[in-house]
Amino acid sequence: MKEYFPEIGKIEYEGRRSEEPLSFKHYNPEETVGSSSMSDQLRFSVAYWHSFTARGADPFGAKTITRPWDEIDDPMNRARARAEAAFEFMGKMGLDYFCFHDRDVAPPGETLAETNENLDEIVSLIEKLMEEYDVELLWGTANLFEHPRYTHGAATSPNAEVFAYASAQVKKALEVTKRLGGSNYVFWGGREGYKTLLNTDLGLEQDNLARFLAMAVDHAKKIGFEGQLLIEPKPMEPTKHQYDFDVEHVAAFLRKYDLEDHFKANIEANHATLAGHDFHHELAYARENDLLGSVDANQGDLLLGWDTDQFPTDVYGTTLAAYEILKNGGLAPGGLNFDAKVRRESFEAQDLFLGHIVGMDSFAFGLKVAQRLKEDGVLEEFARERYSSFRGEIGEKIKDPDTDFEVLEEHVREKVSEPIELESGRQEKLKGLLNSYITTTG
Ligand code: XUL
Ligand code: CO
C-alpha cells in the first residue's frame, strides 16, 4: 500500500524532557493512571472531517492545504486514498478511535441511492482498514448542514420534503455506524435553529426536532444499534440561535419531549465557551444531570467570537476537564474526539501530527494532575466543609419534605442571631493549590 506520510514514523512516548517535537512527552498509552491505562481512560479519537477532508479554506480565503490524496481527480479514488491515509495516520499516532460524517468519507452521487452506494463502498474499505490498524469507530454522524437543501435547517426546515430527506440520510448514517461497530452516534444540529423569529414557527420547529429524534431512537432500536445516542450542544454558528444551545437547554428539551432516557450530551469545549460557559461548567452540569456522554476536545480563542476549533493546549482546561471525567467514572462508551483543526497557516503534513501530539499530551498531563487532585481529595474536602451546615440540624430539617417556610421562620426567630457567621470562599487559595498541583506533576 502507498505510504502517504513517508517522512513521519510511529510517534513514541519519550517523556517530558524529550526535545523531539514528534514524540509524546506525557501520553504513554500503557501507563496506569488511577484505575486503568491512559489509553483506556482517554479514548482519543481523530475527526475525519478536519484532518483528512477539510483543506484550510475560511470565509476570506481559499484552501491552503493540499494532501497527496487531494490531487486525485476521480472523487471515489480520492475517497479511497483518503481512507488509506487516514488509517496510516491513526496507526502512526497510536489513535484508537475515529469519528466521521457520512459525507466526509464518500462523495455524494446524483441520487440518494447513488450516494448510499458510494458510501457503502468506502465503508467496506474502512471496515478492512479498521481491522488492519486495530482502530474502532467512536461515533458516526450525518452532515445535515452543508448541502443547499439544508439552507433553512434539516429536521427544523419549514419544508417537509427536507425533513424527510434528512430522515433518510440519518437512517443510512445510523446503519453505517452500526455496521462499523460504532460506540456512539452524534446529532449536531448545525442548522437546527433560526436567524430571525420574524419568519420562524419556533414551536413547530421544536416539535419537529423532537419527532425526528424519536424516529432516530426507533430506527436505532429496529436495526439493533446498541451504541449511545448523543446530542452535541452549540449556541450559535451557523444559525443565530441554535436549539441545542448548551447542556441545560438540551436537558430541558429532552425532558419536555420525554426523550431523556435515550440521549446523552457530546460536549465540545469551544461550544461551551461560545455559550458563555467554561468547558468545566458544561462537563459538571452534564455529569450532575447524568448526561455526560462524550467530549469533542478542542479549544477556542476567547478574543475571537467564533468556533476556532484549535487543538487543546491549555493545561488548566484539560486538568479540570479530566477531573470531571474522573468524577464521572470515565467517559466510556464515549471518548475524547479531537474536533480540532490545524490553523490554515499550518499547512504541512507534520503540523497534523504536531497538533494531535500537543492535544494528546495536554490531556494526558491534565489526567495525571486530575488523578492526584482526586486521590488527595483536596477540593472535595474543601467543598464538603463549605456545605457542612447542610449536615447539621437546620440542614437536615431543610431536606425534610415536611419542613415549610413557617418552620424555617420559627427557626430563625428562635435560634438565629445576626449577623450570621459566614466563611471565606477562598477562591484565591484554591487557585494557588491548583497551580501547585499543576507545577509539581511530572
Ligand atoms: C461543529 C461541530 C461538528 C460536530 C459533528 O461545530 O462541532 O463538527 O462535532 O457534526
Ligand atoms: Co463537534
For 116-157, the pLDDT digits (tens) are: 999 999 999 999 999 999 999 999 999 999 999 999 999 999
pLDDT category, 384, cuts 50, 70, 90? very high
For 58-90, the pLDDT digits (tens) are: 999 999 999 999 999 999 999 999 999 999 999
Residue at grid coordinates 502512526: 92
Contact 142, 167 (CB under 8 A): no
Q: Does residue 141's CB lie within 6 angstroms of at least one atom of ligand 1?
A: yes
The two beta strands, 336-338 and 292-296, are parallel
- Of 265, 251, 319, the residue nearest 294 (C-alpha): 265
* CA-based radius of gyration for the chain: 24
- Which ligand sits nearest to residue 236's alpha carbon? 1
- Of 300, 297, 301, 341, the residue nearest 104 (C-alpha): 341
- The mean pLDDT value for 34-43 works out to 96
Q: How far is CA 8 from CA 43, 82, 252, 354, in A?
A: 23, 17, 47, 11
Q: What is the number of other CB atoms lying within 10 angstroms of the CB of residue 8?
A: 18
Instruction: Check whether 158 has a pLDDT greater than 90.
Output: yes
pLDDT above 90 covers a percentage of the chain that reads 99
Task: State whether residue 89 is helix, strand or coil.
Answer: helix
Query: Could you tell me the distance, in angstroms and rounded to a whole number, from the CA of residue 391 to the centre of ligand 2?
Result: 41
- The mean pLDDT value for 81-101 works out to 98
pLDDT category, 97, cuts 50, 70, 90? very high
Q: Which residues neighbour ligand 2 (ion) by CB within 5 Å?
A: 268, 296, 339
Residue 101 bears catalytic tag: yes
Contact 215, 167 (CB under 8 A): yes
- Catalytic residue selected from 26, 50, 96, 101: 101
- Ligand 1, atom 7: closest residue by C-alpha: 339
Average pLDDT of the chain?
Answer: 98
Q: What is the number of other CB atoms lying within 10 angstroms of the CB of residue 397?
A: 13
Query: Could you tell me the distance, in angstroms and rounded to a whole number, from the CA of residue 339 to the centre of ligand 2?
Result: 5
- pLDDT at site 202: 98
pLDDT category, 383, cuts 50, 70, 90? very high
Instruction: Check whether 293 has a pLDDT greater than 90.
Output: yes
CA atoms within 13 A on the CB side of 166: 34
Residue 271 bears catalytic tag: no
Burial annotation 366-388 (CB, 10 A radius, 16+ → b, else e): bbbbbbbbbeeebeeeeeeeeee
- pLDDT at site 275: 98
DSSP state, residue 61: B
Q: pTM for the complete prediction?
A: 0.97
Query: Could you tell me the distance, in angstroms and rounded to a whole number, from the CA of residue 257 to the centre of ligand 1?
Result: 24
- pLDDT at site 120: 98
Instruction: Check whether 164 has a pLDDT greater than 90.
Output: yes
CA atoms within 13 A on the CB side of 229: 22
Q: Does residue 296's CB lie within 6 angstroms of at least one atom of ligand 1?
A: yes
- pLDDT at site 241: 97
- Which ligand sits nearest to residue 188's alpha carbon? 1
* Proportion of the chain in helix, strand, coil states, percent, rounded to 5: 50, 10, 40
- pLDDT at site 1: 80
- pLDDT at site 442: 85
To which H or E segment does residue 428 belong?
helix 427-439
To which H or E segment does residue 315 belong?
helix 315-327
